[in-house]
Structure 1
Amino acid sequence: MTPCEFLEEVAHPNMVQALEEPDSKLRIINAIMSLDALAGIIYTYGSSIKDPAISAFKSDTKFRDNLAEISHSFKVLRDTAFSIKHGELTHDKPRLVRSVGSIQERINGFGLFRLGDEIGGSVVVIEYDPGPGYMRASSAVADTYRMLRRIVEGGPAETDEHDDRPGEVDE
């Protein structure tokens, strides 16, 4: 499966569902895992066709580390995906998220509320570990999706973070 096919058939639908249901851990986790997988697929495919922008990195880990330097949202998403896969991250590598328990539900209020959200509802956040701080999970999903889509389309790994309105991402 090419990065373009995976983006269209898997990552995009999961991202849309996560933005439409920002209170659903199921939708958020599906989107996180899909986007993390897409980053790996981009690296593997780019390396196989000798894409200079991708094959410059000696490993998938180095490629992901580079993306994490560019995008705070990708760093949060990458660390969250690893913590989901492994339950807890115990190695010395600096991480923003170390445990699957960092995925929390919060009352959607000041600092989290977005136009179109249900008043009085909740939203899934990713708490930084070690803290303090957290990020709305749908923001990490939307930001990462945009950056990875740009790479799949042949563009640079740039970011335009924290715009998680479905209509703005789903173009």
Structure 2
Amino acid sequence: MTPREFLRLVVRPNVAEAEADVSDVRLTYNAVMAVDALAAHVFHWCKKHDPERVRGLVDDTWFRAECGKNRANVQMLHDLAKASKHVELERGKPTIKTFADVQPRGFGYGEGVYGGGPYGGGDQVSVMVDGAKIQVGWLMRQTIDFYVAEMDAAGVPET
């Protein structure tokens, strides 16, 4: 399966389900894990078809770290996926240290990222980062956009 097929068949349907019910932690969890896995698909495609792009990167974990440099939203998404798997992160300097920071929270006018969630407030699955509520849906969309750009740059064919 190419990275674009994985995006079309797995990632986008999971994200669409999570966005249809922005307060459902289970749907959001599934979508976050799919978006995080997209990084591995891109890494392994590049390793075979564009090895120069991933030169010096041992595996997809290193690729995620490299992609997260200077891209706080991408790093947060990957930290969130890792925290959801390991519950608490103790090594390195993760932006999200525990999955307990992920839960539905109300967003009032002016809270959250503009365009990060549905209009009209209501509970949305979010994560607390340095005292700020960040909509997980926004993190997923930003990370998908980044990996689509990476696929374009690497020449991953459309399917």
With normalisation by structure 1, the TM-score equals: 0.78
* Post-superposition offset of 1:115: 9.0
* CA distance 1:140–1:116, shift in 2 (3 Å): closer
Structure 1 segments (4+ residues) deviating >6 Å: none
- Aligned partner letter, 1:40: A
Could you tell me which residue of structure 1 aligns to residue 127 of structure 2? 126
Provide the secondary structure at the position in 2 that maps to 1:22: coil
* Post-superposition offset of 1:55: 3.3
Could you tell me which residue of structure 1 aligns to residue 89 of structure 2? 89
**Conserved in 2, the CA contact under 8 Å of 1:46 and 1:55?**
no
**Is 2:5 the counterpart of 1:5?**
yes
Could you tell me which residue of structure 1 aligns to residue 97 of structure 2? 98
| Gap runs ≥5 in structure 2 | none
CA distance in 1, matches of 2:145, 2:116: 20
CA distance in 2, matches of 1:11, 1:55: 26
Provide the secondary structure at the position in 1 that maps to 2:153: coil
With normalisation by structure 2, the TM-score equals: 0.84
CA distance in 1, matches of 2:150, 2:34: 15
| Gap runs ≥5 in structure 1 | 157-171
- Aligned partner letter, 1:44: H
1:5-31 deviation per Cα after TM superposition (whole angstroms, max 9, x unaligned) = 111100111122223322221221111
CA distance in 2, matches of 1:51, 1:103: 36
Aligned residues: 153
1:43-67 deviation per Cα after TM superposition (whole angstroms, max 9, x unaligned) = 1221123432123423323211121
**Is 2:74 the counterpart of 1:74?**
yes
**Conserved in 1, the CA contact under 8 Å of 2:68 and 2:75?**
yes
CA distance in 2, matches of 1:115, 1:78: 18
* CA distance 1:116–1:2, shift in 2 (3 Å): closer
* Post-superposition offset of 1:68: 0.9
**Conserved in 1, the CA contact under 8 Å of 2:116 and 2:138?**
no
Could you tell me which residue of structure 2 aligns to residue 42 of structure 1? 42
CA distance in 1, matches of 2:50, 2:121: 50
Could you tell me which residue of structure 2 aligns to residue 135 of structure 1? 134
User: What RMSD, in angstroms, separates the aligned Cα atoms of the two structures?
Assistant: 2.3
1:108-156 deviation per Cα after TM superposition (whole angstroms, max 9, x unaligned) = 213137598363521111112xx32231111101101111122223369
* CA distance 1:38–1:114, shift in 2 (3 Å): closer
